[in-house]
Chains A and B, each alone.
Chain A
Amino acid sequence: MSTSAQTTDDPPKATPPSGSEGRAWLSELAPRLGLVGVWIIVIAVFALLRPDTFFTTQNLQTTLSTQAVPLMVALALIPGLAAGEYDLSVGGVMGLSLVLVGFLNVEQGWALLPAVLVALAAGIAVGAINAFFIVAIGIESLVVTLGMGTLLAGVALGIQSLPVSGVSESLVDVSRTNLFGIQLVFFYGLALVLVLWYVLSHTPLGRYLYFVGEGRNVARLSGIRVDAIRAGSLIAGSTISAAAGVFQAGLIGGADPTIGPTLLLPAFAAAFLGATAIVPGRFNPWGTFIAVYFLATGIVGLQLIGLSGWIEQVFYGAALILAVAASRLASKRDRPAWLSRTARIRPNTPAKGESAA
C-alpha cells in the first residue's frame, strides 16, 4: 500500500532514445509480428506430427474457406471495440440475417435480392437500436448487446425453428465458387479486412475512432463527434454481421437458426488476440485476420491428432482469456505514475457526459 503510494509520486522518466537504428527497428517489429511467429511454429509442429493430413494444400484451402464467415463476424467487432464498445449481439445478428434469407427466399419465395436487402436492413436496424440504448440512453454496451444477442437468437428460432435448404443458386455461386481452390467468400473476408484497414489506419475517421475508445474525454474536448462515432461503429458492426449471415446462407445453401450464436466467442477470442499483433494495443483488422486463422490452425491441428469435439470450445475459451491477459500486461508495462496522481488532484473538473470509461 505505502510502497505503491510512494511510486505514484515520482514523476515519469522520459524513455531515452534507443541505441542503434537497427535495434530500434527490430524491437519495434518484434511485438507486431510475434503472433505470426507463434503461428508459424504451430504450423511447423502440426506439419511434423501430421504431414499427410495437416500440411496439405487441401487443408489450407478448406481452412481459408470455412473460416471466412467467422472472420467476418470477428471483423464486425472491430469498429465497436476500437471505439470502446462491446457488441455481444454480432452472433445474434448474423443468425437473424441467415434465417431471414432462408425464410424469405426459400419459404416465402421472395426473389434473392429483396431477401438479402431485408437481411442487411435488419442488421442496420439492430445496430441502430443498440446505439440508441448505449449512446442515447447511456447503458453499458455489454448489457445492451448481451440482451440483444439473446433476444435475436430467440427471434431467429421463432422465424425458423428448423434448418431449411434451397436458397437461390446465384447466392450459392457467389459464396462458394472456387478460385485457386478457395471459396469466393474468403476473398470477401479479405476485402473486408482491406476496407477496415483503410478506414482505421488511413483516414482521420479511424484515428478518431481509436481516440474515442482510448480517451473519450480527450476526443470530446478535441472536438470529435464522440456519440456519432460510437453509434456509427455499432451500426457498422451489425451491418457486417448481417452480411456474414447472407454469405453463410450461400455457403450452406440454406439457413440454420443455431449457427449464429456459436460464432460469438471465437470472434471475441480472435479480436482480442488480434489486438496483440500488427498494431499491438489496438483492435486492428490484420491482427484479427491473423488471429482467426491462427486459432483455426490450432483447432484443425488438434482435431487431426485425434482430439475432437470438446477441444474447440476449450481452445477458444482459453485463447480469449490468454489474449486479454496478454494485451493487459502489454499495456500495463510503462504505465506512468502520474496517471493515477493527476487523476486525484482535481476530482471535480466539470465534464459533460460520462467520464472516460
Chain B
Amino acid sequence: MPEKGNPNAPGLVLEARRIGKTFAGKTVLDGLDLELRTGEVHALLGENGSGKSTFIKILSGFHFPDQGGELYVRGEPVKLPMKITDPAELGIGFVHQDLALFEEGTVLESVRVGRYSTGGGWRIPWRTERRHVARALSDFGLDIAPRTPISQLGPIERAMVAIVRALDQLHGREEAVLVLDEPTVYLPTDGVDRLFDAVRDVASRGIGVLFVTHRLEEVQAVTDRVTVLRDGRRVHVGPTAAMTQEQLIQTILGFELNELYPTSHSAAGDTVLTATGVGAEVLDDFSLNLHGGEIVGVTGLVGMGFDEVPYALFGASEFARGTIELGGRGFELESIDPREAVDLGLALLPANRARDGAVPTASAAENMTLVSLDRFFQGGRLRHRQERAEAEALMEEFDVRPRQPRLRFENFSGGNQQKALLAKWLVRKPKALLMHEPTQGVDIGARRDIFAKIRRAADDGAAVLIASAEYEDLANLCDRVLVFRRGKVVGELARTDLTHQRLLDHVLRGGVESPAATQ
C-alpha cells in the first residue's frame, strides 16, 4: 500500500529561481520560482499559455532559458542552459503526454532501448535485460511480461510502462525528479486510480514528482502541494488540501480584461446546417443545429473528440459518419468530400496551417485565391494582375502585413497568415465557417482582428463553428459552447451561463449532465 510522502521534509529535490523565457520579445516565463520537495507529488497548474510547458521544456533541455535564472537539483546548482543529455544524468525523468512508447515493439524495448547493458560489447544480453525489466515491472505491481507487445497493453498499463521507463532512466537514483507532463490526457477516467497509486508509490521512494495536469479532480486525488502559473509567473503555491476546486479555478484564471473580444450580437437566424449522428475516431453520435449569425464553440480537454468536429462536418475525416443537412438537402458524411463541402458553401480553417492550411512556398496571393480562382479566369486565361490586385485589397481589408501579395506565404507571421486564410474563405461568403484552433500561434494583436472578423462574418449571416481548447476565447466570442467528454457532448453553455469560469468548470469537472446538446 503506497503511503503519502512527507510534505514537510526539508530537502528540496528541485528548486527553480527566476527562470525566464522570452520568444521574440514575448515573455512566456517571467521569473518563475518553483520548489519541489523530496517525496512529494506536486501539481503544476495553469491555463494554456501560462508557461507550464515552456518550463517543462527548459527542464528537459529543449528550450534555453533567458539569462539570470537559477536551477538547483538536490541543492546543487545546475549550469544553464542544460544540454539535452543533462536531465537524465541529473536524475530528472519525464513522462510526456503521448508517452512515446514503441507501438511496434515490446515492453522491454520501450523501457530499455538506448541503455541496453552491453557491457562494452555489441551483443545485447537479452536474458539479463528481461530479468531486469521483469523486476522493475513487478516492483511496480505490474503483472506484465517484458516480451509483451506494447500494442497489447491498455492505456493505463501503457502510462505505467512509461513511468517504469522514466524511473529506469534514473538508474535507481534516490531523491530524483519525475515529471509527469499531462500523462492522463488520453486516459479513460476509470482505472486511473491504479496509476495514482503508482505515482504515490514513486513519491514514497523519495522521488519528487512534478505532475502537470488540467484535471482538477486528479490534483486533489494525488498531489500534496500545488503551484499555479499565470502569465509566466507563479501566482500561488501551497498545500493542495487548503484549496477547494472553485478556489483553484479562480486562481488559475485570475482576472482579465475582456476588451479583446467583440460584443456579441447573437441574433441567431435560420438553421444553416444540421448535423445528425456524427461520429469520427473519438466523436460519437454528435448532433447539432447551426444557425446563421451564431458562433458555436465545441471544446473539452485534448483528446475528447471536439477537435474532430470541423473536419468531420467538412467531409475531411476518413472516419466520419452520420449525416448533415444543408440548404434542404441531406448528405451522408461517408460519401461527401471536401470538394462537395466547398461547393455547398462550407469553409474550413484547419489548425495545422503549414500542413493543411496553406502552401508555405506559394505566394500569399496564390494561397488566398485558391478557392476563388475561377473568377480570375476570363477570356481563356488567368488574369494574374487582377488576382494580385484582389489579394492586395483583401490584405488591406484584413490587415495582413506586409501587403505584398507576391511574397511567399512562409514569410508572413502566424497572425498574418491566419488573417490571410480567413480572407481566403470569407471572400466566398460561406454559409458555414468551420474552424479548428483559429488563434493557434497567433499573437495577441492579430487575435483581436481575427475575433472581430469572425464576429462580422457571423453578423453577415454565416454560421460559425469553432473547435478550440482556448476556453477564455470561446467564453467571450461564442454565443454557445458545447463541452465534450470522451466523444460526447456533456454540457452546453449559452448567454449568461457562458463565462470563462463556468466553461472551465464544465471542461475540468464534466459539469452537470445535459441531455440536450441540440435544440
A contact residues vs B (CB 8 Å cutoff):
1-2, 5-6, 9-17, 198, 201-204, 206-208, 210-211, 214-215, 217-225, 281, 331, 334-336, 338-339, 341-343, 345-353, 355-356
Contact = CB atoms under 8 A, between A and B. Distances in A.
28 contacts: A6-B64, A9-B63, A11-B441, A12-B410, A14-B412, A15-B407, A202-B382, A207-B382, A208-B373, A214-B359, A217-B355, A218-B357, A218-B370, A220-B316, A222-B342, A224-B339, A224-B370, A225-B339, A281-B361, A335-B360, A342-B351, A342-B352, A343-B352, A345-B351, A349-B436, A350-B312, A350-B319, A352-B318
Nearest to A10: B24
Contact of A2 (B84, B318, B351, B362): B84
B103 interface: no
Contact of B307 (A225, A349, A351): A349
B361 A350 contact: no
B440 A345 contact: yes
Nearest to A352: B318
Nearest to A16: B402
Contacts of A206: 382
Interface in B411-431: 411-414, 416
A207 B413 contact: no
Given A2-B62, A221-B357, 16 more contacts: A11-B24, A12-B414, A207-B382, A208-B373, A211-B359, A214-B362, A222-B371, A336-B411, A339-B360, A342-B440, A343-B352, A345-B352, A350-B318, A351-B356, A352-B317, A352-B318
A201 B380 CA distance: 12
A341 B23 CA distance: 13
B173 interface: no
B63 A351 contact: no
Contact of B350 (A219, A221, A339): A221
Contacts of A223: 338-343, 371
A338 B354 CA distance: 8
Given A6-B64, A12-B410, A15-B407, A201 B382 contact: yes
Contacts of B352: 342-343, 345-346, 349
Contact of B317 (A5, A11, A350): A350
Interface residues of B, number: 71
Contacts of A355: 355
A9 B308 CA distance: 26
Contacts of A221: 314, 316, 338, 348, 350, 356-357
Interface of B: 23-24, 26, 61-64, 81, 83-84, 98, 280-281, 303, 307-308, 311-312, 314-320, 337-343, 348, 350-362, 366-367, 370-371, 373-374, 377, 381-382, 401-402, 404, 407-408, 410-414, 416, 436-437, 440-441, 443
B410 A336 contact: yes
Contacts of B410: 12, 334-336, 339
B469 to A, nearest CB: 10
Contacts of B63: 5-6, 9
B460 to A, nearest CB: 21
B134 to A, nearest CB: 32
B354 A207 contact: no
A281 B362 CA distance: 9
A75 B111 CA distance: 53
Contacts of B314: 221
B356 A217 contact: yes
A352 B382 CA distance: 30
A254 B362 CA distance: 45
Kindly name the residue among A17, A222, A331 whose own CB sees the greatest number of chain B CB atoms within 10 A: A222
